[in-house]
């Protein structure tokens, strides 16, 4: 269901594109894609807070009286059944934290975000409509953030499939509504409204499910344990995840300031496809988080590593399968369209895929390490950001291949090695399966993409 949610999100992004290409110039499509790219930054603003809140709830659900610390700490002061007072404390603090994140998002989007989309907006040829679509996107994203405390609680109680099923339905409805809107009224604001409107349904569904599972925010107990742990991990995870997403998608934002309309549209589409692919591949790792957190709290380390090995290996195999299918799918789509969808050339796509796979594998290990609730994202991702984008203070950002190669080098030399060091040292996750779970899929991907470029040069 987690994978289905991400696929539905991909549908919501991709389905309107042929209709946008038919109704608007390529510069307008480039603007639409840069706005859609911001969806990942919206998620990044929450940092690891949904995961941390979910894991804290999973700890308390087992009867633990602590929300942090080592594996052994969860064995003390346990209660029979769920620790409901602690769960209520977690819920209350999570509500306040996400309300603060919404304020940060609105201020960021209205200032820095507007500056980023300004050039593509001016080039779109429909400045007023583009500005309206941007405003609708900002408001819709705020409601998506407000739904996250209820989603985290539900997943902490094991209802991962139900949450993701509802999320998938929301994206699917949004994509279909956007297509229907563009078919009859080629309006950018109305299409964006169609994509964002089902978010309200998500909010209602998450809240209803949470109350069915026993949601309570209660009254303040006077304890600062949850507040201290949650907010401490919140700012670190928030900075780290935002920096990580800015590293991945910052290339697109940077190139949008200097690239032509067709080049920008092609690169942003490739970037968004890889983002979707990465999230589908990551879905199994994320969905396993409650089970990993439960075993961590119970001290079952061997079982925890066995689960992690299965889901991380599957993540890499899914990633490879999807990046091989992506150019084929785009080529088949273009064969049916009067106006082809712009897509990166073979060499650029291969380079982007290698860089993205290195980042995805490192991200899987960093996510697994957060099972301990020791957050390191605020260390690794800002350094990764500086290594990836810092050189372009001196290098030309107009060379899109150079943008990707610098990111690839930063991932290979720093990001992935640091993530693997964390899981090896602190969770005893060894290297014995590294070739099978990472090296072999990487080899298959390289051979497959090279084969596609030889067999079908038009892809």
Structure tokens at 8: 């539905």
Residue 273 contacts residue 407 (beta carbons within 8 Å): no
- Residues 152 and 245: their CA atoms lie apart, in Å, by 20
- Residues 141 and 42: their CA atoms lie apart, in Å, by 7
Token pair 């372009």: residue: 392
Residue positions counted in the chain: 459
CA dihedral 436, 439, 442, 448 (to 10 degrees): -70
CA-based max dimension of the chain = 67
From the number of C-beta atoms within 10 Å of its C-beta (0-12, 13-18, 19+), residue 414 rates as middle
Q: Where are the chain's structural domains? A: 2-455
Per-residue model confidence as pLDDT tens for the chain (459 residues) = 766 777 787 788 778 888 888 888 888 888 888 888 787 777 666 666 777 777 777 777 777 656 655 555 555 556 666 777 778 888 888 888 888 888 988 998 999 889 988 988 998 888 899 999 999 999 988 888 888 888 888 887 877 788 888 888 888 898 899 999 998 888 899 999 998 888 888 888 888 888 888 887 766 555 566 667 777 666 666 677 777 777 777 788 788 887 777 788 888 888 888 888 888 888 788 778 777 877 877 777 788 888 888 889 899 999 999 999 888 888 887 777 777 778 888 889 999 999 999 999 998 888 888 777 666 767 888 888 889 888 888 887 788 899 999 999 999 999 999 989 988 887 878 787 788 888 899 999 999 888 887 765 544
Q: Could you give the C-alpha distances from 120 to 117, 244, 270, 388, in angstroms and in order?
A: 6, 23, 17, 23
* Helical spans, DSSP H, in 147-260: 148-156, 160-184, 188-196, 199-213, 225-256
Structure tokens at 277: 């692919």
- Residues 399 and 128: their CA atoms lie apart, in Å, by 31
CA dihedral 229, 235, 238, 239 (to 10 degrees): -140
Distance, CA of 28 to chain centre: 25
For 399, residues 6+ apart whose C-beta sits below 8 A from its C-beta are none
The structure's pTM equals 0.69
Taking alpha carbons only, the member of 111, 56, 123, 120 closest to residue 88 is 56
- Residues 289 and 286: their CA atoms lie apart, in Å, by 5
């Amino acid at each position: 269901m987690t994978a289905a949610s991400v696929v539905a999100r991909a549908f919501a992004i991709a389905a309107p594109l042929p209709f946008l290409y038919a109704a608007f110039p390529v510069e307008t499509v480039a603007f639409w894609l840069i706005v859609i790219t911001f969806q990942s930054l919206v998620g990044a603003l929450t940092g690891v807070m949904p995961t941390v809140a979910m894991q804290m709830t999973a700890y308390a659900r087992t009867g633990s009286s602590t929300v942090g610390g080592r594996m052994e700490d969860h064995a003390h002061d346990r209660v029979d059944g769920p620790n409901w007072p602690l769960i209520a404390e977690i819920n209350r603090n999570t509500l306040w934290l996400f309300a603060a994140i919404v304020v940060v998002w609105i201020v960021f989007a209205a200032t820095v975000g507007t500056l980023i989309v300004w050039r593509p907006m001016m080039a779109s040829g429909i400045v007023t409509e583009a500005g309206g679509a941007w405003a609708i996107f900002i408001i819709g994203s705020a409601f998506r953030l407000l739904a996250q405390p209820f989603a985290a609680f539900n997943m902490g109680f094991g209802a991962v499939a139900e949450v993701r099923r509802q999320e998938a339905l929301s994206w699917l409805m949004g994509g279909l509504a956007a297509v229907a809107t563009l078919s009859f009224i080629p309006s950018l604001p109305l299409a964006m409204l169609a994509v964002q409107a089902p978010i309200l349904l998500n909010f209602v569904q998450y809240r209803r499910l949470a109350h069915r599972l026993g949601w309570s925010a209660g009254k303040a107990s006077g304890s600062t344990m949850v507040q201290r742990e949650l907010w401490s991990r919140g700012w670190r995870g928030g900075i780290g995840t935002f920096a990580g997403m800015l590293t991945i998608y910052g290339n697109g934002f940077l190139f949008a300031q200097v690239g032509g309309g067709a080049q920008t549209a092609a690169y942003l589409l490739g970037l968004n496809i890889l983002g979707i692919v990465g999230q589908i591949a990551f879905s199994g790792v994320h969905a396993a988080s409650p089970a990993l957190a439960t075993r961590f709290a119970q001290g079952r380390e061997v079982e925890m590593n066995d689960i992690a090995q299965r889901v991380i290996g599957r993540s890499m195999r899914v990633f490879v399968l999807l990046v091989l299918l992506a150019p084929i799918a785009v080529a088949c789509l273009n064969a049916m369209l009067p106006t082809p969808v712009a897509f990166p050339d073979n060499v650029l796509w291969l380079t982007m895929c290698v860089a993205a796979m290195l980042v995805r594998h490192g991200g899987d290990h960093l996510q697994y390490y957060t099972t301990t609730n020791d957050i390191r994202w605020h260390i690794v991702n800002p350094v990764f950001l500086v290594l990836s984008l810092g050189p372009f203070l001196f290098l030309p950002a107009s060379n899109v291949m150079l943008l990707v190669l610098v990111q690839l080098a930063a991932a290979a030399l720093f990001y992935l090695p640091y993530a693997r060091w964390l899981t090896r040292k602190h969770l005893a996750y060894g290297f014995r399966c590294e070739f099978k779970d990472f090296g072999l899929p990487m080899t298959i991907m390289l051979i497959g993409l090279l084969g596609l470029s030889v067999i079908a040069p038009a892809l």
